Structure 1
């Protein structure tokens, strides 16, 4: 009986060494997914805010400013080159409805660089022109 116990003395350490990398990968994946989910929500809210400003004020510069002010916590910051406003002007009130679409493209850097350098996320907001 003693010989058998002595032979299995380090088995739990070896099994633990096999499981630790998988657990670490799982924890890092959960953290990265949670961060990406939070950034995606921020981008969607910022795009909706930009679409609202564009629909009401008919000013693409104001819409871009609204998007930038709605994303103060993102690092790196959102630039005008990452914000697309289409159409660039709402037509005057007519019988047809026109929607304005604001899209924010953001290269989100990973927290740990374990899964790569960054991932491209997109937030989109759509609203009818002239409220």
Structure 2
């Protein structure tokens, strides 16, 4: 058996040892990108909801605006949104919160995320 022929077998064994680690790394990069994008979308949706709450003083309009802003993720139910306080009066801060869970690729599980937007009423 020649030395070159034996080296081909060694390369196959090395590849078999490195492949699982490489796949795990690639899946982690994909999951991180998906979670990061979802977090940015939730933050934008929370800011949009807080802005509408401050301008219109309407929880239903604020939730609708946040649902529209979060549309790239999925249809988020109204129960995932929280507004505090429920009415906007001059000088108070409105905190708008969105809760969402991103499903992973299967290796890393699910990721619960929260987006928060805070704005001043009448400011």
Q: Same fold (TM over 0.5)?
A: yes
Query: 2:102 corresponds to which residue?
Result: 108
Which stretches in structure 2 are left out of the alignment for 5+ residues? none
Deviation at 1:114, TM superposition (A): 2.2
2:76 is paired with a residue whose SS is coil
The size of the alignment, in residue pairs, is 123
Higher helix share: 2
- Larger C-alpha radius of gyration, 1 or 2? 1
Correspondences of 1:42-81 after superposition (within 5 Å) = 42-75=41-74, 77-81=75-79
Give me the CA root mean square deviation.
1.5
TM-score computed with the length of structure 2 as normaliser: 0.91
Structure 1 residue corresponding to 2:85, chosen from 59, 84, 87: 87
1:99 is the counterpart of 2:93: yes
By how many angstroms is 1:6 displaced? 5.3
TM-score (norm 1): 0.86
Q: Write out the 4+ residue segments of structure 1 that deviate beyond 2 Å after TM superposition.
A: 2-9
